[in-house]
Structures are given as structure tokens and as C-alpha cells.
Amino acid sequence: MEKGQESLKHLFQEEFSKMVAVISKLFGLEHIETAEDIVSETFLMAAENWGVKGLPANPTAWLYVVAKQKTLYYFRRNRIFDEKVAPALSSRQEKEQQIEDLDFSMQHIKDSQLQMLFAVCNPAIASEAQIGLALRILCGFGIDEIAEAFLSNKETINKRLFRAKEKLRTENIKMELPPEHEIVSRLDNVLHIIYLLFSEGYYSQTQDEILRKDLCFEALRLGLTLTEYPPANRPKTNALIALMCFHASRFDARSGEGFPVLYEQQDEKRWDKTLIAQGRHFLQLSAEGDEISSYHLEARIAYWHCIKEDSREKWEDILFLYDQLLLVNYSPSVALNRVFAFYKVHGNKKALAEAEALHMENDHFYWLLLGELYTGADNTTARQHFRKAYDLAKTHTEKAVIREKIEKIS
């Protein structure tokens, strides 16, 4: 039973957004909530059916068949399609045939998701609402996860999503790729959505898990999909893909026995050399043109972390890259990471002054960094800082790592 529930959870994370995209393509974005309802009912039926009969031989195919049946049933029973959708698009008979032939092939799913990404990023929808809506309907994020990504609360996010869906209806936004001249203006938000998806998987703020590979590889898949569409295949797109490849290459080495393995303790032999090579390939492609985005800088930093040697040259370049990144896209996490690179180049004393100047008292990473910098020089103060980090940490895995640090210097 537990295995079945785990399989269903995994399938939900993998298939929900794909199925919503395909059904929304059929009926239009103005009926996206209907698509979400149909897919939710499909998974509810799967939970009930599989709980009694066990997993079918091909669970994904089972979901697609049931989704087709439910879509056809909804079309026949609900007057909204009789009165609005069917007359506008085709005869009832033709529409029923389209539903019968509902295409859940890999290529059609990929095309539908790409069209939805760009449709959601229509300038008629506010930027933050675009990202929140895409994370919800295309990437399967929960409201809690979106709220965390925006440093907001559930009520605000729900209101934002409601307004965004209203815009889809009132502006009659079509689920199609925009004209080529509009790609550039929408691409930044599309890339940001993919970046947030990967970040949530690589370091989950809302799930008590070390790593959520499924989200990371979904983000990488969406990024690669963009490269197949020439107007979106730009240097910053390739830079983002390089960044994800470099980080993903250390997946296996980063987790072990229920606890995260810190970079210094990672076994380099467990790094995925193929992904590192792919990262280098896309980093090289990203160098074409004269634009330097935050993805370029982060990808270069991630590349250095795929080289285990602890040389001064390495950390001087990383520090330079962080300085540039702060100018391009300031964030507290980047400022903290820069201090660590500063420490590797200039030592504890100067790094402490840099760190304490940030005054990020509500961030457990701030206290964690201070604890690291004081370790060995003033272990009493280091323990105090680690304890503050422990109190602010949000997940059990984070607390376990910090507890281990406290115990080592006690």
C-alpha cells in the first residue's frame, strides 16, 4: 500500500502538469481550471482504484486513458462546452473525436508545455503572477512552495493566482507560441520559472527532503525544450542549462544515509562526468554573443565547484564572479556565498568583518557562516552562532547538520 502511495505521489509530480497542459491546449487557457479539475479527479480515481486493485501494469498509460474518458464525459455533460467552446471550435462530433484522439505523446506534451510557458508569460499578466501561475499549473508547485519562493504567504499567492487566471480569460490569451519579436520580452520570465523550479528541487525550502531530483530534472527538461525552438535558443538559455547540468552532476555525491553531504566531504568519483561535460558544452554555447546574464555568472561558479582542487586561483575567480553577480542581481544568499569565497581568499579575520556587516539576523545561513568563521578561533562564540542557526533552520535535515557541527566543537 505504501509503495502504491509513493508511486502515485511520484506520478502526480511527473504527470499532473503535463496532463493539464495537453487538456488546456484542447479547450483553451480560459478553461484551465477545468483541466486542473479533470486531472485532479483522474488522480483521485487512481488513488481509490489502485488502493484496492494495486498498481496497473502501466500506471502512466492508465492515467492518460482515464483522463481522456473524464475529458469526454465533462464535454458531454457540461453546458459550458456546448454553448461556448464547441460552437467556436468545431461541431460536437468533431470535438468528441478530438477528445477521443487526445494526444499524450511525448512530443505533444513537450509542445503543449512550451506553448503554455510562453502564454502564461504574456505581458498582460503581472510579472510575479506569471511566475506563480506557471509554477502552479505547469510545474506542479503547491501554494506553500510558491509562497516560500516569493517570501510571501498563502493568502497573497491565492489572490495573485486568481487574478492571473482571470486575466487568461478576460484577455483571451491563446495557448500558442508568440511571434518571434515578442520572444525576448517573455524569455526572461520563462527562464526565471525554470530557475525557480530547479532551485526548489536542489534545495527545497518547503519539503523536508535533501534533494528532489524529479523537480530538478523537470527543470532541465524544460530548459532543453527551449533550445529546440530557435528564437528561445539564446546564450542565457544555454547558460541556465549549463548551470543546472553542473549542479545536477553532484546529485549522487550530495546525499547519503539521510543527510546532506557537504561539498568538502563529497566523493569526487560520484560526480556525473557526463553531466559535467554537457555543462561545459552549454557553457561554451552561452559565450556566443555579448550578453552576460546572472545565469552566465552562476554557471561559471558552478563549473568551478566541479573542480575539487582548492587553489587560490579558483577562489579568486569565484570571488570575482560573486562580485559581478551582486551587481547584476543582488540577493542575500549571493552576498553570503560571496563572503565564503572572500574567506577562502583573504582568511577568517577579514571575512568576519564582511559577514557581520550584512546583519542578516533572521537567516540561519548567516549564523551558520559566522559559526564556521569563528570555529577554531573562538569555539564558544562559534557554538552560540551555530545554536542560533539551529533555532532558525526550517527542516530536520538542516538541523541535523548543524547539530553535528555543534557536537564537534563541544
Task: Convert the pLDDT of each residue in 54-106 to its tens digit.
Answer: 889 999 999 999 999 998 888 777 755 555 555 555 555 665 666 666 778 88
For 342-369, give one letter per residue: b (16+ CB within 10 A) or e: bbbbeebeebbebbeebebeebbbbbbb
How far is the C-alpha of 240 from the C-alpha of 281, rounded, in Å? 12
Query: Contact 7/59 with Cβ under 8 angstroms?
Result: yes
Domain final residue pick, 104, 131, 161? 104
Q: Please check whether residue 164 lies inside any domain of the structure.
A: no
Nearest to 264, CA basis, from 134, 401, 130 = 401
How far is the C-alpha of 203 from the C-alpha of 212, rounded, in Å? 8
Share above pLDDT 70 across residues of the chain, in percent, rounded to a whole number: 88
> Would you state the pLDDT for residue 199?
85
Average confidence score pLDDT of the chain: 85
pLDDT band at 1 (very low <50, low <70, confident <90, very high): very low
Q: Please check whether residue 83 lies inside any domain of the structure.
A: yes
The pLDDT tens digits of the residues spanning 194-242 come to: 998 888 778 765 555 555 777 788 889 889 989 988 899 999 999 999 9
Q: Is the pLDDT of residue 13 over 80?
A: no
Q: Is the pLDDT of residue 409 over 90?
A: no
Q: Please check whether residue 239 lies inside any domain of the structure.
A: no
> Would you state the pLDDT for residue 398?
81
How far is the C-alpha of 194 from the C-alpha of 385, rounded, in Å? 34
> Would you state the pLDDT for residue 98?
65
Q: Write down the residue that cell numbers 577579514 correspond to.
A: 350
> Would you state the pLDDT for residue 3?
53
Q: Is the pTM of this model over 0.75?
A: yes
The pLDDT tens digits of the residues spanning 370-403 come to: 999 999 889 999 999 999 999 998 877 788 889 9
DSSP readout, 141-192?
--HHHHHHHTT--HHHHHHHHHHHHHHHHHTT--SSPPPHHHHHHHHHHHHH
Domain final residue pick, 83, 104, 125? 104
Q: Please check whether residue 181 lies inside any domain of the structure.
A: no
What total number of domains does the chain contain?
2
> Would you state the pLDDT for residue 139?
75
Q: 45 in helix, strand or coil?
A: helix
The pLDDT tens digits of the residues spanning 37-56 come to: 999 999 999 999 998 888 89
Residues facing 256 on adjacent strands: 259
How far is the C-alpha of 318 from the C-alpha of 58, rounded, in Å? 47
Domain final residue pick, 104, 134, 150? 104
Q: Please check whether residue 278 lies inside any domain of the structure.
A: no
Q: Is the pLDDT of residue 168 over 60?
A: yes
How far is the C-alpha of 178 from the C-alpha of 295, rounded, in Å? 24
Per the structure, the complete domain to which residue 89 belongs is given by 1-104
> Would you state the pLDDT for residue 84?
56
> Would you state the pLDDT for residue 61?
93
Q: Write down the residue that cell numbers 500558442 correspond to.
A: 176
Residues 6+ apart with CB under 8 A from 21: 109, 112, 113, 115, 116, 138
> Would you state the pLDDT for residue 327?
94
> Would you state the pLDDT for residue 232?
92
Q: Please check whether residue 238 lies inside any domain of the structure.
A: no
> Would you state the pLDDT for residue 282?
97
pLDDT band at 262 (very low <50, low <70, confident <90, very high): low
pLDDT band at 31 (very low <50, low <70, confident <90, very high): confident
Q: Please check whether residue 18 lies inside any domain of the structure.
A: yes
Least confident of 161-175, 282-296, 307-321, 333-347: 161-175
Q: Please check whether residue 69 lies inside any domain of the structure.
A: yes
pLDDT band at 144 (very low <50, low <70, confident <90, very high): confident
